[in-house]
Amino acid sequence: MEWKKLVDVLKGHVVYLQTHNFPDPDALASAYGLQVFLKAHGVEASICYAGKIDKSSTRHMLDVFGIKAIHIDDIDNMAEDDYIVTVDAQKHNSNIADFTGSEVACIDHHPTTIPCEYRYSDIRICGACCSIVTDYFIQSETELDENTATALLYGLRMDTNSFNRGVTDFDIEIFAYLHKLADNQKIINMHNNTMEIEDLHAYGEAIRNIVIYENIGYAMIPFDCPDALIAMISDFILSLDVVEFSIIYAKRNGGYKFSVRNETEGYHAGKVTEEALRGLGGGGGHSCMAGGMITAENVPLLGVDPDYTIRQRFYEVIKAAGEASDNS
């Protein structure tokens, strides 16, 4: 009984559930689900994060479901022997700040880039962290109320782009379970209101700047925008019939932030991004979705035409990967 081990590790301690920085709906909903689950088993925990919740639809979700997520700046009493569970993220990753407490547990659905020892770890590659947290309710036969079920289903739906991205059989089993318990109309309403007027400016730039090389779509957005928005635009460009691999990047802090999507069998978005951005910042992720960055100090390495160099680097890695898979 895995879930029992988690409860045993945490019992009697001050517990924080830490999401990655700039938490998205899956991070917040899975942290919330875990908070409700732990409470049912006698463990009180607080949800915390660094960075900011940068989409208004995500902030709205906190009100709709009554989720209390505390910014690290508003926590002044975290102690070294307080326990942290990383949720939808793993310690040592570039997207999660290192807080004072001790990371004793990790629940995540991303591949591991830098391994870490935890007293409890549940890392399963699936569509959303919400699926793993829901499984705890099922395995332990803990009652799941409508509000929590709705939040978990919303997180699952958002992180899988409505079951179109990274979905496994496990996610579908979880979907069937949550669907019976959740307020499905509420999810549809929320899902239909995730686009903001300012988002359209970024879409406009991406459309204006799109470059297509064979089956690869590239677009640069010349201003900073939230990670979630860059990801939405990457999904949007991937939806073009001629594009099977999309690379969208926005200017950020003098460098660039990337969101990469792949819909082919032959390529791996995470490996391609890691390879293409090696020595420039870094990147990685799943087979179908990845993220990355080029830091400001490395921008001069891109030469006089940074966009061309970026396109060329990705193109070469993708073509080499395609040839390797053709020969295997």
Window 283-312: contact mask with Mn ion (x via CB under 5 A): ------------------------------
Choose, by CB under 5 A, the member of 122, 135, 159, 275 that binds Mn ion.
159
DSSP SS3 for 250: strand
Name the token pair of 225.
């925008």
Q: What is the dihedral of CA 213, 264, 281, 90, to 10 degrees?
A: 160
Choose, by CB under 5 A, the member of 25, 26, 69, 86 that binds Mn ion.
26
CB 186 within 8 Å of CB 64: yes
| Nearest distance in Å: CB 29, Mn ion | 9
Window 246-265: contact mask with Mn ion (x via CB under 5 A): --------------------
Contact positions with Mn ion (CB under 5 A) in 73-92: 88
Q: How far is CA 161 from the centre of its chain?
A: 11
Residue 158 or 238 with smaller CB distance to Mn ion: 158
Residue 28 or 45 with smaller CB distance to Mn ion: 28
Residue 18 or 317 with smaller CB distance to Mn ion: 18
Q: Which residue is nearest to Mn ion (CB)?
A: 26
| Nearest distance in Å: CB 75, Mn ion | 23
Beta-carbon neighbour count of residue 145 at 10 Å?
A: 12
| Nearest distance in Å: CB 130, Mn ion | 8
CB 312 within 8 Å of CB 247: no
Strand order in the sheet with 120-123: 69-71, 45-49, 15-18, 83-87, 102-108, 120-123
Beta-carbon neighbour count of residue 204 at 10 Å?
A: 11
| Nearest distance in Å: CB 110, Mn ion | 7
| Nearest distance in Å: CB 167, Mn ion | 12
Q: What is the rounded distance in angstroms from the CA atom of residue 267 to the CA atom of residue 256?
A: 23
| Nearest distance in Å: CB 24, Mn ion | 7
CB 34 within 8 Å of CB 46: no
Residue 6 or 156 with smaller CB distance to Mn ion: 156
Name the H helices within the chain: 2-10, 25-40, 56-65, 129-140, 146-159, 169-181, 184-191, 197-209, 227-238, 269-276, 306-327
| Nearest distance in Å: CB 51, Mn ion | 15
Residue 159 or 275 with smaller CB distance to Mn ion: 159
Residue 28 or 317 with smaller CB distance to Mn ion: 28
Residue 78 or 172 with smaller CB distance to Mn ion: 172
**Residue at token pair 């975290």:** 78
Window 100-139: contact mask with Mn ion (x via CB under 5 A): -----------------------------x----------
Beta-carbon neighbour count of residue 138 at 10 Å?
A: 14
Candidate ranges 156-164, 168-176, 199-207, 235-243; the one touching Mn ion (CB under 5 A): 156-164
Candidate ranges 8-16, 145-153, 154-162, 277-285; the one touching Mn ion (CB under 5 A): 154-162
Candidate ranges 62-70, 95-103, 142-150, 155-163; the one touching Mn ion (CB under 5 A): 155-163
Q: Is 244 in the site for Mn ion (CB under 5 A)?
A: no
The residues with which 212 forms a beta bridge, in sequence order, are 217
Q: What is the rounded distance in angstroms from the CA atom of residue 161 to the CA atom of residue 299?
A: 32
Name the token pair of 98.
């290192």
Which residues in this chain contact Mn ion in the complex, by CB under 5 A? 26, 88, 129, 159
